[in-house]
Chain A
Amino acid sequence: AQTVTQSQPEMSVQEAETVTLSCTYDTSESNYYLFWYKQPPSRQMILVIRQEAYKQQNATENRFSVNFQKAAKSFSLKISDSQLGDTAMYFCASTGTASKLTFGTGTRLQVTL
């Protein structure tokens, strides 16, 4: 079984600043993937970034990067140069060999002027 925990229900950041969203997980699988998804007000789920657990190098996608600490089972998301369009719910998720996604409870991010 997998569990994903997001301990920050809400976060706020000013435009152009940097914010880090926290996520911890637990899994009994040796091969798994971790994801951050964004859900804007439209409610369309959008993949932000993906990390394969067997890769030590942290994934990056433009302004988005992760800090993957495998031993600590931590997978935080850093958003640099925050933009108003980054305002959304952010879900951390994990999947194992069964391909079923387990989601955290989400962090609501508000980007302000």
Chain B
Amino acid sequence: GAVVSQHPSRVICKSGTSVKIECRSLDFQATTMFWYRQFPKQSLMLMATSNEGSKATYEQGVEKDKFLINHASLTLSTLTVTSAHPEDSSFYICSARDGQGGSEQYFGPGTRLTVT
């Protein structure tokens, strides 16, 4: 089955620093990847959609200068949280859509970010 990995699984950083989260599709090519944010006991909120080789499309209310997304290859997308603040602490999940045109998204295991 399609596998998506995320690294790191947990990260703690200090306020004002930046942190990068990687999302990789391990056994398929992902033309489209999605980044979600999930607060405790809440649903997943889509932050942005990234397509390989083009700029990410951000959802309304998501600061594109704060959450930098790069989708440089068909198997890798990165989310960089810049100048992190405690309110950025959350669970970040990526998903990837098979480039063969399937409707299904395959999810990574998530990254817990804590900003101190």
Residues of chain A touching chain B, judged by Cβ–Cβ distance below 8 Å, are 33, 35, 37, 42-47, 50, 52, 91, 95, 98-106
Contact = CB atoms under 8 A, between A and B. Distances in A.
Contacts of A44: 107, 109-110
A44 B43 CA distance: 13
B100 interface: no
Contact of A45 (B46, B93, B97, B103): B93
29 contacts: A35-B104, A37-B107, A42-B109, A43-B93, A43-B109, A43-B110, A44-B109, A44-B110, A45-B95, A45-B107, A46-B107, A50-B104, A91-B43, A95-B103, A98-B49, A99-B32, A99-B49, A99-B103, A99-B105, A100-B34, A100-B49, A101-B34, A101-B46, A101-B95, A102-B46, A103-B44, A105-B42, A105-B43, A106-B43
Interface residues of B, number: 18
B17 to A, nearest CB: 24
Given A43-B38, A101-B44, 13 more contacts: A33-B103, A37-B107, A44-B109, A45-B95, A45-B107, A95-B103, A95-B105, A99-B105, A100-B34, A101-B46, A102-B46, A103-B43, A105-B42
Contacts of B107: 37, 44-46
Most chain A CB atoms below 10 A, which of B32, B95, B97, B105 = B105
Contacts of A101: 34, 44, 46, 95, 105
Given A42-B109, A44-B110, A104 B43 contact: yes
Q: Which secondary structure characterizes the binding site on chain B? A: strand
Nearest to B38: A43
Interface of B: 32, 34, 38, 42-44, 46, 49, 91, 93, 95, 97, 103-105, 107, 109-110
Contact of B104 (A47, A98, A100): A47
Contacts of B46: 100-102
A11 B70 CA distance: 40
The 9 closest A-B pairs by CB, nearest first: A45-B107, A33-B103, A103-B43, A44-B109, A103-B44, A105-B43, A43-B110, A106-B43, A99-B97
